[in-house]
Amino acid sequence: MGPTRVKICGITRPEDAQTASEAGADAVGIIFHRSARRFVEAAQARIIAQAAGPFVTVVGVFVDASLRQIVRTARQVGLGTVQLNGDEPPELVARLAEQGLRAIKALRVDQDLPRQIERWRQADPLPSGLVLETGGTSLPGGSGVANDWQAIRRHQQAGLFDGLPPLILAGGLRPENVARVVRELRPWAVDVSSGVEETTGVKSARLIAEFIQQARSAGA
């Protein structure tokens, strides 16, 4: 499977993007949903994206934004990948691809997950990845609430995710628990926000480094 990839989400400061890059993160996430606690304006996001450097994927996180809004922001910031965290239609993936943008889709782990999975199987092309987030939370990124790892494991064993894009696990991950989640569920990537923060929107260099080390060693 190769080493587990790591995305540090909810970046609000360029110094945190640089820290994540230097620690070996594969991706950083910037949130463009105004109701989110870690919302960032496009002008600041462009500075953050530049600080991440050339070898880190910068992911823009959107919630039920229009195609026009997403494309405009992507052009302003210099994004190539976007994350859809709302109730977007599967057809949006193709429309974004026409604009040169890759999309990953976030889904909540709740009773509706099997129906949502089947809905997104109809996307053509499929998203580049599926983020499984904690059910019962309304805003993207950084709730700190643990995901239902047992439910994800049951779905894996039942074949729910077979034939789908790589899984990216999120929800209450921290340096102390990420290794266990990686060993048990073998995701393609893990996604963390509040679990590596000092305060909301302010990342800890120490926690980022510990998180990446734990995720990588467990996935090796």
Burial class of residue 98 in the structure, from the number of CB atoms within 10 Å of its CB (0-12 exposed, 13-18 middle, 19+ buried): exposed
What CATH number has the domain bearing residue 189?
3.20.20.70
Q: Which domain holds residue 186?
A: 5-219
pLDDT at 139: 60
pLDDT at 141: 61
pLDDT at 144: 77
> Token pair for residue 98?
């026409």
Contacts of range 37-43, beta carbons closer than 8 Å, 24 or more positions apart: 37/139, 37/142, 37/200, 37/201, 38/10, 38/11, 38/12, 38/141, 38/142, 38/193, 38/200, 38/201, 40/11, 40/12, 42/73, 42/76, 42/77, 43/76
pLDDT at 219: 73
Residue 161: count of CB within 10 angstroms of its CB: 15
Distance from first CA to last CA of the chain, Å, rounded?
8
Per-residue pLDDT tens listing for the chain (220 residues): 578 999 999 999 999 999 999 999 999 999 999 999 999 999 999 999 999 999 999 999 999 999 999 999 999 999 999 999 999 999 999 999 999 999 999 999 999 999 999 999 999 999 999 999 999 765 666 667 899 999 999 999 999 999 999 999 999 999 999 999 999 999 999 999 999 999 999 999 999 999 999 999 997 7
pLDDT at 136: 79
pTM recorded for the entire structure: 0.95
pLDDT at 137: 66
pLDDT at 140: 61
CB of 36 within 8 A of CB of 140? yes
SS (H, E, C) 115-158: HHHHHHCCCCCCCCEEEEEECCCCCCCCCCCCCCHHHHHHHHHH
pLDDT at 2: 75
CB of 60 within 8 A of CB of 77? yes
Total tally of structural domains belonging to the chain: 1
Residue with tokens 């949006």: 92
